[in-house]
Chains A and B, each alone.
Chain A
Amino acid sequence: MAKVLIIAEQRDGRLKKSTFELIGASHAAGNETHVALLGESIAGLAQELADYGAQKIHVGDHTGLKFYTSEAYAKVLLPMIQSLSPGIILASHTPTGRDLMPRLAAQLNVGLASDCTQLSFAGEQIQVRRPVYAGKATVEVEFLGAGPRMATVRPNAIGIPKPDSTKQAEVISLTVALGTPVTRVVEVIKGTSARPDVTEASIVISGGRSLKNAENFKLLEDTADVVGGAVGASRAAVDAGYRPHRDQVGQTGKVVSPSLYVACGISGAIQHLAGMRTSKIIVAINTDPEAPIFQVADYGVVGDLFTVVPLLQEELKKIRDH
């Protein structure tokens, strides 16, 4: 059993599912599970963290923490970590977690295993495996020297446990002294899409160049909306200007690991496969029966996406409305 600190993540007062994954895994392994929660007016989120197994919740509630900056977060977290002295520190490999954790690792003079897709606890240690070459291979990470052990974990890699609202946690207030910041978030430009991020969604529906134009991606968007999914794209589709780069799945885009990945009209270039092959279930829809994507697909449909996807959308609606 170890003393584990999980750095919770919230945006606009909503906790990330990936935070629940980490808490659930630590709790299930019988660890003493601490959670750090920073932000402005976020104390009300503590119970939700407790529902997933957090035992002690360290809350830093301050107007200077309204927006994440590594500078402000580290100022609050470093002294807290030094006094708590956890054996293991975990965060999600998200835009916030991946930005923050190296700073803390350098300040604590320890190593960090990034973007892990497998995590298990063994006494005071963690065992982690992570993809390299965007998933063309995986490696085990050996930590050298003294702890704490630090890792960021890819969203969706663990799975979310069932919450239990009868669970209780102790809430501890953190001292927040920020001084004059060097980095400041001066504006937030909100995405117009209500869809989840391609790296966080549990279902991703992706399209390739065969979609022919940007407008045709509406077919995939409408299908994704039936199941609360995100829309991804191949590099060819992004290079053709059909989708923004932030939706690109592959070695030079996002690496995703959803429960379900549906590749529509994507041939399966090696650099695309690298970005999605850790998905739990892969569906390929393609007119070319020899397309490499079928080699990694759990379910293959040889057919024209413009015929198959609308039918698929109707069938998914039936399941949803059932």
Chain B
Amino acid sequence: MNIYVCIKQVPDTETKIKLTSDQTGIDVTGIKWIISPYDELAIEEGLRLRDKNPGSTVTVLSAGPARVVEAMRNALAMGADSAIHVDLPENADNNWVAKSLAGALKKESKVDVIFTGKEAIDDGAAQVSQLIAQYLDISYVTVVLGAEYTATSVKCKREIEGGSFEIVESNFPVLIAAQKGLNEPRYASLPNIMKAKKKEVKALKASDVGTSEGDQKIRYKNFQLPPPKQVGKKITGDPATQAKELVRLLHEEAKVV
């Protein structure tokens, strides 16, 4: 099986976000970059599927500036076989990224399964997975927390609202977007970290995958930090008084109950 995993490098969840002075983006100075947590599930799932199907390979892809190669090295250290980097500017939008990754995948001889995270935790748009699949004209199943594979198809457990799930069946080729619960991602071992340094990372430019700046369909501007909240009311007194006063305020002042 030819298995592919598309990943994104994002700021660590503990990062305190600061804006650039012109408010056109965030200040990336000092940011600790990680693989988006849902993408780690995607990598793990790819590795497990490969190991159950001898002769399979896992190729990891990422589109973005040079720094994203570091994230792919981590994926290689987890056990992926090779990597493809599509060099795109820092602020390329979901569409340009997805079209570029799809362009890179079209150059591959055969694609059976593509894994992604259900969303990246930086922009949280939850678009790139579906866009890649659409540009490849293959099916997709998102928010997947369980999967059973045959040689040519998969049954996915997809999370919907209200604690309900759907079992969605799809033939290959298919893109599966991972949700927490799908597996427990492994840590890279030291020998594998050393081995990863020697694995191939193919470098592609936008023009190599048939995309250009014209594929940028949206732009984020006028970044703002959330307005500081006004200091709230501290409700004092014994617990019974506190509870009574709280509900009075929620009912009469805030009008939310």
Distance between Cα atoms of A316 and B234 in the complex (Å): 19
Which one of A132, A186, A298 contacts B122 once the chains associate, using CB atoms below 8 Å?
A132
> B163 on the interface (CB 8 Å rule)?
yes
Q: Does A161 contact B (CB under 8 A)?
A: no
Cα of A315 to Cα of B127 in the assembled complex, Å? 43
A-side contacts of B247, CB under 8 Å? 312, 315-316, 318-319
- Complex CA distance for A105 and B223, rounded to whole angstroms: 24
A144 touches B217 (CB 8 A): yes
B180 at the interface (CB under 8 A from A): yes
Mark the stretch among A28-36, A53-61, A91-99 that contacts chain B.
Answer: A91-99
Contact A187 B217 (CB under 8 A): no
Contact across chains for B126 and A114 when beta carbons are under 8 A apart:
yes
- How far is B254's CA from A203's CA once the two chains are assembled, in angstroms? 13
Expressed in whole angstroms, the minimum distance between the Cβ of A212 and any Cβ of chain B is 18
Indicate whether B16 reaches chain A with its CB closer than 8 angstroms: yes
- Interface-side segment among A42-50, A171-179, A213-221, A301-309: A301-309
Cβ of B47 to closest chain A Cβ, rounded Å: 21
Q: Which of B27-63 contact A (CB under 8 A)?
A: 37
State A184–B157 Cα separation when bound (angstroms).
Answer: 12
Is A138 within 8 A of B226, CB to CB? Answer: yes
Q: Does A107 lie within 8 Å of B126, measured CB to CB?
A: no
Q: Quick check: B222 and A140 within 8 Å, CB to CB?
A: yes
CA distance A274 to B20 in the complex (A): 20
Known: A103-B130, A312-B247. A115 touches B124 (CB 8 A): yes
Please name all residues of chain A whose beta carbon is closer than 8 Å to the beta carbon of B235 when the two chains form the complex. 299-301
The reply to whether B161 and A95 form a contact with Cβ atoms under 8 Å apart is yes
Known: A197-B162, A260-B256, A315-B247. A252 touches B169 (CB 8 A): no
User: Are B139 and A296 in touch, CB under 8 angstroms?
Assistant: no
Within B161-180, the residues touching A (CB, 8 Å) are 161-171, 174, 179-180
Q: Which B residues touch A259, using CB under 8 A?
A: 256
Q: Are A184 and B168 in contact (CB under 8 A)?
A: yes
What range describes how many residues of A lie at the interface?
35 or more
Do A136 and B17 touch (CB < 8 A)? yes
- Contact A132/B124 with A95-B143, A319-B247 known, Cβ cut-off 8 Å: yes
Min CB distance A82 to B, Å, is 16
B218 and A112 form a contact (CB under 8 A): yes
The answer to whether the Cβ of B155 comes within 8 Å of any Cβ in the partner chain is yes
Q: Which of B217, B225, B251 contacts A145 (CB 8 A)?
A: B217
Q: A107-B134, A299-B233, A300-B234 are in contact. Are A185 and B168 (CB under 8 A)?
A: yes
Known interface pairs A183-B139, A298-B233; A136-B226 also in contact (CB < 8 Å):
yes
A142 touches B218 (CB 8 A): yes
Q: Which residue of A lies closest to B126 (CB)?
A: A98
Complex contact B243–A137 (CB within 8 A): no
| Contact indicator B232/A140 (Cβ below 8 Å) | no
Q: List the B side residues contacting A283 at CB < 8 Å.
A: 246, 250
Residue from A95, A185, A227 within 8 A of B159 (CB atoms): A95
**Is B140 an interface residue, CB under 8 A from the partner?**
yes
**Residue with the greatest number of chain B CB neighbours at <10 A, chosen from A145, A260, A298:** A298
18 contacts between A and B (CB under 8 A): A99-B130, A111-B95, A112-B125, A112-B218, A133-B121, A139-B223, A140-B222, A144-B217, A182-B139, A185-B166, A185-B169, A190-B164, A203-B256, A283-B250, A300-B234, A304-B239, A311-B244, A319-B251
Give the 4 A-B CB pairs with smallest separation, nearest first.
Answer: A191-B163, A111-B217, A311-B243, A102-B130
